[in-house]
Structure 1
Amino acid sequence: MTINLNDLNKYLDVAKEAALRAGVVLKERFRKLCPSMIDEKAKNDFVTEADKKSEEIIKSHIWSHFSDHDILAEESLAVRNASPLLWIIDPLDGTLNYIHGLPSFAVSIALEIEGELAVGLIYEPLRENIYSAIKGQGAFKNGKRIHVSRSNTLNTSLVATGFPFRIKDIIDNYLKVFKELFMHATGIRRGGSACLDLAYTAEGIFGGFFECSLSPWDMAAGALLVKEAGGEVTDFNGGNQYLKTGNIIAGSKGVHQEILKIIQEIFKN
């Protein structure tokens, strides 16, 4: 299908409007949740009324503009057409942070066209930061161009990660990777929001990021941001199947390669 830059800009504008509307609700309900507003989907995997309301707002806004588009969203997995345009939405990334009053969470919206990421947006409501990217047009924070870290070595970089709470049987290897990176990197941070970790990597705060067993909505927008900011994004095999495998490494070229080498060495055993 033929999509031009004007179309992509329109998609981005709609994503931005949707995220801002959802952000209003997230800010209003932050630190105001009671236990009845929180459900445990699986062990240590929670959803709140704020997640659900945010998703409802985003889906409604997108479908009010593009009723024939498909949507893949964390809380409802709603897909209703056979469209080549697929919106991938995390209405509240960092739910556990949100529940505990930790001010580190975001809205993530991406658009995939015929299987290729084309638009990505991450909105940080409390800081009112908007990270955005259109394929081939660069990455931006609040309208200003951003770039991955100029550092190309682990020993001068801060690295971000998360822990694989869904797949406990790989935790031993994961901790070996963590230890190896701890010995070589300037430091390691675990923020609790994969999409923000990727946004900060695109911005050059983190030199690199890795995590496994993620879902597409955790990383779709952030992956595009890092690539458009001049970085490398792969799965643990060095390929481009991260949205399918759930395993992702992102960062400046040199840091990405060092993390990839460590992960492949440890996970092959």
Structure 2
Amino acid sequence: MSGKENFKRSIPIFSSSISVFFNDKVIASSIYDPLRNDFYFTEEGKGAFLNDHRIRVSNRKYLENSLISLQINNSSFEIEKLFLKDHIPFKNFRILNSSIVSMSWLCNGKLDCFIGTNMDKNLILSSKLLLRESGGFFLEASLNKNNFFICANPIIHKKIIKILN
């Protein structure tokens, strides 16, 4: 489950995910958002779906117009501060406190980017296949002993990588 604290406080942003592994590789993954009755499903090589409809990441091109979800913890604030504050208006950031909801909304084109830090490996594996099958890109990197993940549509992903370099 992702968004446990939201669930405990009756904040309607949480979901659950299940993945099928074969030889230590995710071959199918599903995410269920019970409040919206959204069922995301993907199988390797067969695309990504939301309730029987094919989904794709957004095609937004400009960081200034992008919606970016952050998964913030104490150590990660420094990461966002280091490379984002001078490039993206603050109004474009969302903190949903559910990495799986953020990833599923990214895959559906509602969000354009998701940046998370020190996340649970199982949650990452569950959503990585969905992201790839919906046309998105994923990067894992380290900064100041913190792991962080950048997930985005191909255009925004490239621009954020350029900022990092």
TM-score category, normalised to shorter length: 0.7 to 0.9
Corresponding position: 1:171 with 2:77: yes
Structure 1 residues 161, 102: closer, same or farther in 2, change over 3 A?
Answer: same
Number of corresponding residues: 162
Where has structure 1 moved over 6 Å in runs of 4 or more? none
Partner in structure 2 of residue 123 of structure 1:
32
CA offset digits 1:93-146 (Å, max 9, x no partner): 101111111011000111232232211110001111101100100000001000
Q: Tell whether the 8 Å contact from 2:140 to 2:148 is kept in structure 1 after alignment.
A: yes
CA offset digits 1:29-88 (Å, max 9, x no partner): xxxxxxxxxxxxxxxxxxxxxxxxxxxxxxxxxxxxxxxxxxxxxxxxxxxxxxxxxxxx
Partner in structure 2 of residue 235 of structure 1:
140
Partner in structure 1 of residue 122 of structure 2:
217
Distance 1:220 1:180 in 2: 31
Report which of the two structures shows the higher radius of gyration computed on alpha carbons: 1
Greater helix content: 1
Greater strand content: 2
Classify the secondary structure of the residue corresponding to 2:31.
strand
CA offset digits 1:151-191 (Å, max 9, x no partner): 133223211111024xx3x53233333423533x8711110
With structure 1 as the length reference, what TM-score do the two structures score?
Answer: 0.56
With structure 2 as the length reference, what TM-score do the two structures score?
Answer: 0.88
User: Post-superposition shift, 1:147?
Assistant: 0.4
Identity of aligned residues (%): 24
Amino acid at match of 2:12: P
Partner in structure 1 of residue 149 of structure 2:
248
Classify the secondary structure of the residue corresponding to 2:88.
helix
Q: 1:259 aligns with which of 148, 152, 160?
A: 160
Classify the secondary structure of the residue corresponding to 2:72.
coil
Corresponding position: 1:112 with 2:112: no
Q: Tell whether the 8 Å contact from 1:198 to 1:219 is kept in structure 2 after alignment.
A: no
- List gaps (5 residues or longer) in structure 1: 1-91, 238-244
Instruction: Note the 1:141-160 alignment, pairs <5 A.
Output: 141-160=50-69
Partner in structure 1 of residue 41 of structure 2:
132
